[in-house]
Amino acid sequence: MTAEIIDGKAFALSLRERVGEVAAAFEAKAGRKAGLAVVLVGEDPASQVYVRSKGKATLAANMLSFEHKLPVDTAEADLLALVEKLNNDPSVDGILVQLPLPSHVDEQTVIAAISPDKDVDGFHVTNAGRLAVGQEGFVPCTPLGCIMLLTDRLGDLSGLDAVVVGRSNIVGKPMAQLLVQQNATVTLAHSRTKNLPEVVRRADIVIAAVGRAEMVKADWLKPGATVIDVGINRLPPADGAEKGKLVGDVAFAEASEVAGAITPVPGGVGPMTIAVLLRNTLVAAHRNEGIAMPDGAL
């Protein structure tokens, strides 16, 4: 048996196209475009690439992109002042402060300063609380993208046994909450879980988000399980290669012989993150203007 490949790249492209259509309709109703502000502190190369790609994707989706690039030695107080300015700017619907921040800036303080109604990353404690009790709020982009891929592949998740490996605030915990909302039976596993392979082996759905290259092996999986690999790890370079290969948290080649469906790395969950960020920004714009979102559009 060879697993079906879950094509996150194609799904994300379709979502971005739908976002663009709804964004155009929003502009016609509101008399303005939806706007996303991205703040980058310092010159981390990976963060620069992310910010650039987010800016291009925002413009391509009929929305405004506001980029704020600050020097690495920017004082925390100055960053907080910028966040407050963006909170009060009616042309900005979503605010994203690119992480990680320099060591002299407290990430939690900055995240807490973002208005929960503009927190399109879904990291604010208010939005985490809203998710926990089932209220409307913003959900972190990666786990929401995973749920979209799962429901597209499986339909109703009710009663399915799901194991999330990894308990981060950005992926693992919100992922578990979303699966519970979908009526799955959820285990949130982690590095200290006893008999982890056995726990994973009973799952119909496996979400690997632990940050360890190829940790989840084929013999950890129930035959036919659906596997969502959130990990992005770079292996050491092979002989003569400039860069090592990108792999996920799942040993893809061997897992593909057991799983029923699996996301590849790259090309699986990764493209979904920016697509969902655009979707969240558009949802924020509709809420900010008091305009109803079209039913079932996103």
Going along the chain from its start, the domains and CATH numbers come out as 30-117 (3.40.50.10860), 141-271 (3.40.50.720)
150 in Cβ contact with 191 (< 8 Å):
no
Angle between helices 8-30 and 141-154 (to 10 degrees): 110
- Residue 23 pLDDT > 80, yes or no? yes
User: pLDDT-derived band of residue 1, with 50, 70 and 90 as boundaries?
Assistant: low
Written in H, E and C, the secondary structure of 62-84 is CCEEEEEEECCCCCHHHHHHHHH
Q: Rounded CA gap, 267 and 181, in Å?
A: 26
Q: pLDDT of 99-143, one tens digit each? A: 999 999 999 999 999 999 999 999 999 999 999 999 999 999 999
User: How many other C-beta atoms lie within 10 A of the C-beta of residue 177?
Assistant: 20
Helix (H, G, I), strand (E, B) or coil at 4: strand
Q: pLDDT of 139-191, one tens digit each? A: 999 999 999 999 999 999 999 999 999 999 999 999 999 999 999 999 999 98
**Catalytic sites, residue numbers:** 54, 98, 121
Q: Output the pLDDT for position 46.
A: 84
> Phi and psi dihedrals of 49, rounded to 5?
-65, -45
> pTM of this prediction?
0.95
